[in-house]
Amino acid sequence: MTTALPTPLVAPEQLIAALAAGATPLVIDCSFDLADVAAGERAWAQGHLPGAIYAHLDRDLSTVKSGRNGRHPLPPRADWAATLARLGVTPARAVVVYDAQGGMYAARAWWMLLWAGHRDVRVLDGGLQAWKAAGGAIEAGVVAPVAAPPYPLGESLVASIDADALQQSLGRVTVLDARAGERYRGEVEPLDKRAGHIPGARSRFFKDNLDASGRFKPVAELRAVFEALGAAPAAVVHQCGSGVTACHNLLAMEAAGLPGSVLYPGSWSEWSSDPARPIAVG
């Protein structure tokens, strides 16, 4: 596990070999279920990668909701640094994050670690299912994190944009919406206050980044899809419902060799909570 890896992904076979060779990354299970917020933690306790600790989307990877800051608002960076220390993250230690949902929650943790300036972080390609399929060992039981010294925040390694700046930039950036097509089109809205999408946004369902086995599609295939947008990565803004699955599209671009795209963390849940912000349907 080194920063020389050319991709933000690590294959289960690579991780198995690295662990056998004595590598000691901090492994974090980020499994979650929006419909049952305790389900991911229960599943982790029943079976996880050896030594894996657990990070909860609501408790660890988000802060308190105000009703106007989205469903999974980012915590202040100082609070996130305190969480990192509690989880045992140090600048010198490699981190591997995974989940059992195609990487949708692991991608959020990956982005947030980069946001703190932590460079050595990888997402387990294919998650728990791919790990099992590759013959990786599984442990049961609760693993308590071993706290580390206060995490020294570094310069963010990723870019983000807030709602006001995004609204002012519409027409000059390419906005990608990671939600399912029916939510993007405004046909249904099970979670947020208004249905539809940010004007000018294009639909890119995050699950389309994965093949039938749940791993990310080949680099050339992903690169062709995102290059077809015709925008430089720095002019691509990712959003979704609450800033979680948008990270999956951002991760896919990074894996495809197209680094530098931008996250709108508040996403549709924040945007739609403000009746003054424009929306589009169809």
pLDDT at residue 53 is higher than 70: yes
Q: For residue range 136-154, what is the model confidence (pLDDT) as tens digits? A: 999 999 999 999 999 999 9
Q: Span 28-36, mean pLDDT?
A: 97
In the predicted model, is pLDDT for residue 274 greater than 80?
yes
Q: How far is CA 158 from CA 8, 60, 234, 264, 266, in A?
A: 13, 19, 10, 11, 15
Which of 19, 61, 240, 252 is labelled catalytic? 240
Options 3.40.50.11540, 3.50.50.60, 3.40.250.10, 3.90.1200.10; CATH for 159-271 is 3.40.250.10
Length of the chain equals 282
- For the question of residue 240 being annotated catalytic, the response is yes
Question: Looking at residue 155, what is its pLDDT?
Answer: 96
Residue range 247-269, pLDDT digits in tens: 999 999 999 999 999 999 999 99
- The confidence score (pLDDT) of residue 102 equals 97
Considering the chain, tell me which residue range(s) the CATH 3.40.250.10 domain(s) occupy: 9-133, 159-271
pLDDT of amino acid 6: 56
- What CATH code would you report for 9-133? 3.40.250.10
Q: Tens digit of pLDDT for each residue in 63-77? A: 998 988 889 999 999
Q: Going along 95-139, which residue ranges are E strands?
A: 95-98, 121-124
pLDDT computed for residue 110 by the predictor? 98
